[in-house]
């Protein structure tokens, strides 16, 4: 190994914006292109809105206007406005802000004075304007460097803060905002802040009943076992019910922040729920049976919250405040009284809950023997099968924490899996090869997951048998041919995930790989096209009679070419569930018996496509 000098000249001091731009992951998590709901561009939006939410929580401003186009974000609140003499400092001096004064922001989301500065540093253009009592101050920046410091002026606008920015395309390459992700994020703000009105691209979002409204949207009357239980106390709100789906479904919030990875508050709720139920029914139910098929939302407010990362996706606080009880004790005491009182006053609901728990208990015991045999088969198969070509990160050959970068491609056929295996990034990308079309598992019980070899090996490869906490890959990419058979395989795989492991889809882990349909080239240049429009544009650009190749399947794309499509330029379509989507109704429509409604849908859409072809 070559020696390198290590002396005084090796030591560097970076200013705030240089450090943020050099290590953006420390501040906003992974970068991404916007195809995943936890990509950095959504964290930038959240950081700005969070400040406006904190103003509202402190009693200032009842409306927030949000406008987001393909590349530009504008957020306008009607709070107090940043003090005019500190506008530049608040967006460009690290660890500067008003939230260190606990009296002004006792239960705010962000207390570190970093968020807005990170947005500024990571934006190609950033503008801040503050309006206070007839006066206004504006400052403009580029990548954290001030472009123009406007003089204070007079204005007739209402008090508040206006921030607009454009994420830096040199950092967020080929990014795009997906409206459904933003809409879901903004709906959560409304559910958690009664009395607040948010306008997102002129669409109004407002909630009167808090988490009860959230749960009502996430469920349907015929999909739950009993009416939603809604409990509210000081600094805590809980709503839950049980459905018929597999797994557990949670929506956890702290100070209005959606903690997608849970934390101490969610762990405390799961424990307290089981403890309270056991004590009420005077029976030592298995915890898994109590929580099976639960759909729940919990929101707490704590002083000076501690999160496990700057992106605030997991609460680490042990106490609800400097002088308060532990989070565990706070939630346990609340549920012990509020839930116990509710169940005593509502015997019909209590009876329905008990019946659901006992049904889960019977199903678990029936499955025990099947699971044991299936696990033994999977272990034996893994010794010899070549279905999974794992990545070095999971084989223990990579020491760095690259969990967020790990990807599993699911493909069909030897040629396609062979090309993917040869061209992938072996450090973080793995390949799982299907043998033929998977089984249509709609309407079947989870027993089929263990009895079907393909499904059993796939769930073991993903490590999701007991839930997605141990999920081995951050992205699961379905890579099939862009033909009728390939589309069918996609549907069958999505049915498998939605039927038995919906949290994988709900948490944004599943994607569809877009691969090119055409290669257009001449002696000077090669262009890959994903649709007919791109092909026509490429032919026009390359001029006289270029060579055109139509890829009929993934197996026809050479490993050398494939390397370009699963690297930095990879095009992924996220599989996203809208908040109002009912999974069982959707699966019944697309994967159930061939109903007249589905036939009419196919006929009508086929007619539209034929009309478009005729017009062309």
Query: Is the predicted pLDDT of residue 385 greater than 70, yes or no?
Result: no
Q: What integer pLDDT is reported at residue 159 of this predicted model?
A: 95
Q: Which of 384, 379, 478 is nearest to 438 (CA)?
A: 478
pTM: 0.76
Q: To which residue do tokens 């964290």 refer?
A: 43
State CA 359 to chain mean position distance: 31
Q: What integer pLDDT is reported at residue 260 of this predicted model?
A: 79
C-alpha to C-alpha distance for 422 and 435, rounded to whole angstroms: 19
Q: What is the dihedral of CA 87, 92, 95, 99, to 10 degrees?
A: 30
C-alpha to C-alpha distance for 247 and 316, rounded to whole angstroms: 24
Measured in residues, the chain has a length of 616
Q: What integer pLDDT is reported at residue 453 of this predicted model?
A: 85
C-alpha to C-alpha distance for 89 and 586, rounded to whole angstroms: 51
Q: What integer pLDDT is reported at residue 271 of this predicted model?
A: 94
Percent of the chain with pLDDT over 70: 87
C-alpha to C-alpha distance for 172 and 40, rounded to whole angstroms: 8
Query: Is the predicted pLDDT of residue 476 greater than 80, yes or no?
Result: yes
Higher per-residue confidence, 400 vs 37: 37
Query: Is the predicted pLDDT of residue 101 greater than 60, yes or no?
Result: no
Q: What integer pLDDT is reported at residue 303 of this predicted model?
A: 79
Non-local (6+) Cβ contacts of 138 within 8 A are 87, 127, 128, 129, 148, 150
State CA 532 to chain mean position distance: 31
C-alpha to C-alpha distance for 287 and 273, rounded to whole angstroms: 9
The H or E element containing residue 468 is: none
Residue-wise over 394-429: b if at least 16 C-beta within 10 A, else e?
beeebeeeeeebbbbbbbbbeebbbbbbebbebebb
Higher per-residue confidence, 355 vs 379: 355
- The predicted-structure confidence for 346-371, as pLDDT tens digits, reads as follows 999 999 999 999 999 998 888 877 77
Question: What CA–CA distances, in Å, run from 100 to 108, 450, 566?
Answer: 10, 54, 45
The whole-chain average pLDDT of the chain stands at: 84
Show the domains of the chain with their CATH numbers.
16-205 (3.30.565.10), 211-363 (3.30.230.10), 385-515+553-581 (3.40.50.670), 516-550 (no CATH)
- The predicted-structure confidence for 231-286, as pLDDT tens digits, reads as follows 999 889 999 999 988 888 899 998 878 887 888 899 999 999 999 999 999 999 99
Higher per-residue confidence, 137 vs 248: 137
Question: In this structure, how many other beta carbons lie within 10 angstroms of the beta carbon of residue 166?
Answer: 17
Number of H helices, E strands in the chain: 20, 23
Mean pLDDT of 17-21: 82
Mean pLDDT of 490-511: 90
Query: Is the predicted pLDDT of residue 383 greater than 90, yes or no?
Result: no
Q: What integer pLDDT is reported at residue 446 of this predicted model?
A: 86
Q: What are phi and psi of 389, to 5 degrees?
A: -100, 100
135-142 vs 236-242, strand pairing mode: unpaired
DSSP string, 399-442: -S--GGG-EEEEEESHHHHHHHHHHS-TTTEEEEEE-SPPP--T
Higher per-residue confidence, 130 vs 388: 130
Q: Predicted confidence band at 102 (pLDDT cuts at 50, 70, 90)?
A: very low
């Amino acid at each position: 190994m070559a020696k390198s000098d290590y002396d005084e000249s090796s030591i560097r001091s970076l200013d705030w914006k240089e450090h943020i731009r050099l290590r953006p992951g420390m501040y906003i998590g992974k970068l991404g292109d916007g195809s995943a709901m936890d990509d950095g561009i959504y964290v930038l939006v959240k950081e700005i809105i969070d400040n406006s939410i904190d103003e509202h929580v402190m009693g200032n401003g009842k409306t927030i206007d949000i406008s987001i186009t393909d590349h530009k974000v504008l957020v306008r609140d009607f709070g107090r406005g940043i003090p005019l003499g500190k506008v530049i400092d608040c967006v460009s001096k690290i660890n500067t802000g008003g939230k260190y004064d606990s009296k002004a922001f006792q239960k705010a989301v962000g207390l570190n004075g970093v968020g807005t500065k990170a947005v500024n540093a990571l934006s190609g253009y950033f503008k801040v304007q503050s309006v206070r009592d007839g006066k206004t101050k504006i400052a403009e920046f580029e990548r954290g460097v001030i472009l123009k410091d406007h003089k204070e002026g007079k204005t007739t606008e209402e008090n508040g803060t206006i921030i607009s920015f454009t994420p830096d395309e040199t950092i967020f390459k080929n990014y795009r905002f997906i409206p459904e992700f933003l809409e879901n994020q903004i709906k959560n703000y409304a559910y958690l802040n009664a009395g607040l009105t948010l306008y997102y691209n002129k669409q109004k979002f407002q909630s009167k009943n808090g988490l009860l409204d959230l749960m009502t949207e996430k469920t349907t009357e015929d999909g739950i076992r009993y009416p939603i239980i809604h409990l509210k106390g000081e600094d805590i709100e809980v709503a839950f019910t049980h459905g018929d789906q597999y797994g557990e479904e949670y929506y956890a919030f702290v100070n209005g922040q959606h903690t997608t990875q849970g934390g101490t508050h969610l762990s405390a709720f799961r424990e307290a729920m089981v403890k309270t139920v056991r004590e009420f029914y005077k029976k030592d139910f298995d915890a898994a049976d109590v929580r099976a098929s639960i759909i729940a939302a919990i929101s707490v407010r704590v002083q000076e919250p501690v999160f496990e990362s700057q992106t605030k996706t997991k609460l680490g606080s042990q106490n609800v405040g400097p002088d308060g009880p532990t989070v565990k004790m706070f939630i346990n005491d609340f549920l012990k009284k509020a839930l116990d009182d509710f169940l005593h006053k509502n015997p019909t609901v209590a009876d329905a809950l008990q019946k659901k728990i006992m049904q889960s208990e019977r199903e678990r015991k029936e499955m025990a023997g099947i699971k044991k045999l299936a696990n033994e088969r999977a272990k034996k198969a893994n010794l010899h099968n070549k279905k999974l070509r794992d990545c070095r990160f999971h084989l223990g050959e990579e020491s760095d924490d690259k969990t967020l970068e790990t990807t599993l491609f699911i493909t069909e056929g030897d040629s396609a899996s062979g090309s993917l295996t040869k061209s992938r990034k072996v450090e973080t990308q793995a390949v799982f090869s299907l043998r033929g079309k998977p089984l249509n598992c709609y309407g079947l019980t989870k027993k089929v997951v263990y009895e079907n070899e393909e499904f059993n090996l796939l769930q073991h490869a993903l490590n999701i048998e007991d839930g997605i906490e141990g999920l081995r890959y951050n992205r699961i990419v379905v890579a099939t041919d862009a033909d009728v058979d390939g589309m069918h395989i996609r549907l069958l795989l999505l049915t498998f995930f939605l039927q038995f492991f919906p949290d994988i889809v709900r948490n944004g882990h599943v994607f569809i790989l877009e691969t090119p349909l055409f290669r257009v080239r001449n002696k000077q240049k090669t262009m890959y096209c994903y649709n007919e429009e791109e092909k026509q544009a490429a032919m026009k650009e390359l001029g006289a009679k270029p060579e055109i190749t139509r890829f009929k399947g993934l197996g026809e794309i050479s490993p050398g070419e494939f390397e370009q499509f699963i690297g930095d330029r990879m095009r992924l379509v996220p599989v996203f569930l809208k908040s109002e989507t009912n999974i069982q109704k959707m699966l019944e429509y697309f994967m159930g018996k061939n109903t007249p409604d589905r036939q009419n849908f196919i006929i009508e859409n086929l007619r539209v496509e034929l009309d478009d072809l005729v017009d062309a």
